Amino acid sequence: MDGIFLQQLINGLTLGSVYGLIAIGYTMVYGIIGMINFAHGEVYMISAYLAAISLALLAYFGVESFPLLMLGTLLFTIVVTGVYGFTIERIAYKPLRNSTRLAPLISAIGISLILQNYAQISQGARQQGVPTLLEGAWRVEVGTGFVQLTYTKIFILIAAFAGMALLTYVIKYTKLGRMCRATQQDRKMASILGINTDRVISYVFVIGAVMAALAGVLITMNYGTFDFYAGFIIGIKAFTAAVLGGIGSLPGAMLGGIILGISESLFSGLINSDYKDVFSFSLLVLILIFRPQGLLGRPLVAKV
Amino acid sequence: MTAPILELRDLDVFYGPIQALKKVSMHIVEGETVSLIGANGAGKSTLLMSIFGQPRAASGQIIYRGTDITRKSSHYIASNGIAQSPEGRRVFPDMTVEENLMMGTIPIGDKYADQDMQRMYELFPRLKERRNQRAMTMSGGEQQMLAIARALMSRPKLLLLDEPSLGLAPIVVKQIFATLRELAQTGMTIFLVEQNANHALKLSDRAYVMVNGQIRMTGTGQELLVNEEVRNAYLGGH
């Protein structure tokens, strides 16, 4: 085994963990109200801008230590993105709760266009960037070559997995998590038991936005650049990850993200990097043909 | 006469163009066990669900402890002391028995959760054996016990039960009705909807008979048990 394979595996794991974070938003929203929130990629894009704004503000006020910068940026980005998630649901989806299934899908596309144009007008169409915050890397000799693990990547892996672990804990063991699961499994029964299901749906949108915000901060740290259109391709990739893992399944979204990230990285590193998107979407087509319920999803049984 | 805990006044309920309930009036007094019997499709389950506003009554009033709750949200009604074990049980399939029971504590918080869970396990020992099992893997009878126990976890002032005997073996039905009798003796106010008129009437202080969305007859459980018309229609005519 040579260094390239291992290197691409690490790159893929990093990329995949971030896909997984965004895929969580797709899968939880689908699980609870049965719609694909096509504006979710744009929520991620907004969070990338917020991360940059926050970094600039903190730098302006003279904050220089990495932990403080990170903490401030995460806090600011997560809170504001959460507000975006909440507001989008209130404005675009809640009024359509009892209409046809297509209506919220159309308003999701509308929101997505609005957010893209809003970012373009307010922030400009040029690519934006942030400087590298965490310099340095870890190098390990492997055979004739070496594997390089930048500190940024290590940080991303830790933060992404911590985020996923925290969310898994919340969903599995807390009252909020039980309320989310109950609403997902039987919304009518949940309301009869005293759960304000509209509020739970709001919470789920906020959770999805918070995870996207974490992803936004992490990806911005890694690549340094983004533009108003950045949410589109990553959104579709994360959606692919959610379908791959089984849409509606939380562990499925995380697993799907990691598998997609790794296979995409291996493909681009070992075969051809120009066609990596083609490869990802071919994967989506194959899943939809051979295992439409995804890896951890359940086959859909028609309810009578 | 003491004021009833729940009173329905001239309730009209529609499913689209179909009128499911027609000018239904009835009441339940605190401490009573009242049952509603009637054939399949008479509107019994609709009546229970419309107490929770699903579907909403088109006209008429639902008065609960002196307050008009006709237009209140389902979760408000649940939070104020009405609990239901609904048609089809509707336990959460992917949750364990314990998690399902915890869902019953939403209106009152988990202050009494441990204590009440122990009480449920005494009431339904089968649930204790299955406490960490997912609800979807249990038999119909066990799911029914779970649905009733989940409703009880909120310490309701009024317990609504929809066909607890449906689809269960006679021996299980007997067990469940024995437990309901125990509950009734502790002073719980129970409103029971049943097709199994024999069991229901024996348990009840009073009962209503529903035909095609209307209340046709009312009386004490004993009166209806010996009533000619009821015997012919619901008790096999012997």
> Distance between CA atoms of B130 and A215, rounded to whole angstroms?
40
Cβ-based contacts under 8 A for chains A and B:
57
Reported as a single tens digit per residue, the pLDDT across A238-275 is: 999 999 999 999 999 999 999 999 999 999 998 988 99
Closest CA relative to residue A220, chosen from A87, A21, A6, A5: A21
- Between CA A204 and CA A213 the distance in angstroms is 14
CB contact at 8 A, A66 and A151? no
How much is the pTM?
A: 0.92
- Chain A within 8 Å of B78 (Cβ-Cβ)? yes
Question: Residue A303: what pLDDT?
Answer: 43
The CA distances from residue A214 to A18, A57, A163, B20, in Å, are: 8, 18, 8, 50
CA-based angle A226:A232:A234, to the nearest 5?
Answer: 75
Nearest to A194 among B78, B92, B110 (CB): B78
Nearest CA in chain A to B104: A193
Outline where DSSP puts E strands in A174-233.
225-226
Distances in Å between the Cα of A236 and the Cα atoms of A40, A146, A254, A279, A284 are: 9, 33, 15, 13, 10
Residue to substitute from B92, B100, B157, interface A, most A β-carbons within 10 A: B92
How far B213 CA sits from the closest chain A CA (Å)?
Answer: 23
Q: Are B203 and B191 in contact (CB under 8 A)?
A: no
Nearest to B106 among A181, A188, A195 (CB): A195
Rg (CA), chain A: 19
d(CA A173, CA B96): 12
Judged by phi (left if over 0) then psi (alpha if -120 to 50, else beta), residue B64 lies in: beta
As a whole number of angstroms, the distance between CA A97 and CA A188 comes to: 13
- Distance from CA of residue B12 to its chain's centroid? 20
Whole-angstrom Cα distance, residue B74 to residue A197? 10
Asked if A214 and A19 touch (Cβ cutoff 8 Å), the reply is no
Tens of pLDDT along chain B (238 residues) come to 578 999 999 999 999 899 999 999 999 999 999 999 998 889 999 999 999 999 999 999 999 999 999 999 999 999 999 999 999 999 999 999 999 999 999 999 989 999 999 999 999 999 999 999 999 999 999 999 999 999 999 999 999 999 999 989 999 999 999 999 999 999 999 999 998 899 999 999 999 999 999 999 999 999 999 998 888 887 765 4
Angle at B74 between CA B167 and CA B48, to 5 degrees: 35
CB B188 within 8 A of CB B159: yes
The verdict on a CB contact (< 8 Å) between A178 and B93 is no
Residues (pLDDT < 50) of chain A are 302-304
Q: Cis omega before residue B55 (within 30°)?
A: yes
Distance, in Å, from the CA atom of B178 to the CA atom of B176, rounded to the nearest integer, reads 5
Residue A294 corresponds to which tokens in the numbers above?
């995804």
User: Which chain B residues are Cβ-neighbours of A194 within 8 angstroms?
Assistant: 75, 78-79, 106-107, 154
ipTM of this predicted structure: 0.92
Residue that is written with structure tokens 């997912």 in the block: B134
pLDDT for B3 equals 83
pLDDT in tens, B134-154: 999 999 999 999 999 999 999
Q: What angle do CA B48, B53, B55 make, to 5 degrees?
A: 80
Q: Across the interface, do B78 and A193 touch by the CB < 8 Å criterion?
A: yes
pLDDT at A304: 41
Q: Any idea what DSSP says for residue A298?
A: P
Identity of the residue in B93, B104, B107 whose CB atom sits nearest the CB atom of A185: B93
Contact at 8 Å (CB) between B24 and B213? yes
Structure tokens at A250: 């939380």
Per-residue model confidence (pLDDT) at position A134: 86
pLDDT of residue A1: 57
Per CB-CB distance under 8 Å, the chain B contacts of A195 are: 75, 106
Task: Say whether B52 and A194 touch across the interface (CB within 8 A).
Answer: no
Spatial separation of the C-alpha atoms in residues A238 and A43, rounded to whole Å: 13
**Alpha-carbon span B90 to A30, nearest angstrom:** 21
Give residue A69's identity as a one-letter amino acid code: L
Question: How far is it, in rounded angstroms, from Cα B172 to Cα A261?
Answer: 53
Q: Which residue of A has its CA nearest to B96?
A: A178
Contacts of B132 in chain A (CB under 8 A): none
Chain A residues touching B102 at Cβ < 8 A: 175, 178
- Backbone conformation region of residue B132, classed left if phi is above 0, alpha if psi is from -120 to 50, else beta: alpha
Q: In sequence order, what are the beta bridge partners of A46? A: none
Q: What are phi and psi of A73, to 5 degrees?
A: -65, -45
